[in-house]
């Protein structure tokens, strides 16, 4: 199976369908995803907690793999996540990057980046222009 297909299956089954059993099928048990949460690594059990919390906040999630590059055991992807904010029905778009190493059809090493600031701004959980406020030295909250 192509790594792009595995990534597409990961996002579809885990992050859209909330199929938590897919975590064990696509993610090695000892793998610790880096970069999703500051200074924390996220393993399979953490995903089983993180995914439902995230999906409870949004409606109608969709993930698009915008660019994927494969090289040997590695794949890199730029992706977009589109959801609906249930509080106001407005669309929310987040973007991220994933760099993963595979053994067979499982991810065994991953590095992640997701623009949570913009995402949570659009969800109404942070003030508008939070990044600009931070760049001027102002505190949020």
Note the pLDDT tens digit of each residue in 74-126. Answer: 999 999 999 999 999 999 999 999 999 999 999 999 999 999 999 999 999 99
Burial degree of 103 (CB within 10 A; 0-12, 13-18, 19+) = exposed
- The residue-averaged pLDDT of 22-28 equals 94
Task: Give the H/E segment covering residue 120.
Answer: helix 116-122
Report the alpha-carbon distance of residue 23 to residue 40 in Å, rounded: 18
pLDDT of residue 103: 95
**Is-above-0.75 flag for pTM?**
yes
- Average pLDDT along the chain: 93
Instruction: Give the CATH fold of the 3-135 domain.
Output: Nuclear Transport Factor 2; Chain: A, (3.10.450)
Burial degree of 129 (CB within 10 A; 0-12, 13-18, 19+) = exposed
Q: In this model, does residue 25 exceed pLDDT 90? A: yes
């Amino acid at each position: 199976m192509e790594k792009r297909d595995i990534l597409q299956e990961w996002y579809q089954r885990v992050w859209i369908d909330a199929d938590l059993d897919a975590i064990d099928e696509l993610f090695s048990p000892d793998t610790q995803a880096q970069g999703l949460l500051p200074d924390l690594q996220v393993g399979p059990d953490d995903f089983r907690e993180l995914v439902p919390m995230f999906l409870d906040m949004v409606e109608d999630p969709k993930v698009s793999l915008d660019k994927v590059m494969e090289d040997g055991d590695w794949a890199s992807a730029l992706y977009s996540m589109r959801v609906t904010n249930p509080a106001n029905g407005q669309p929310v778009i987040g973007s991220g990057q994933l760099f993963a190493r595979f053994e067979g059809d499982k991810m065994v090493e991953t590095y992640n980046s997701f623009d949570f600031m913009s995402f949570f701004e659009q969800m109404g959980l942070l003030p508008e222009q939070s990044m600009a406020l931070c760049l001027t030295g102002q505190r949020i909250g």
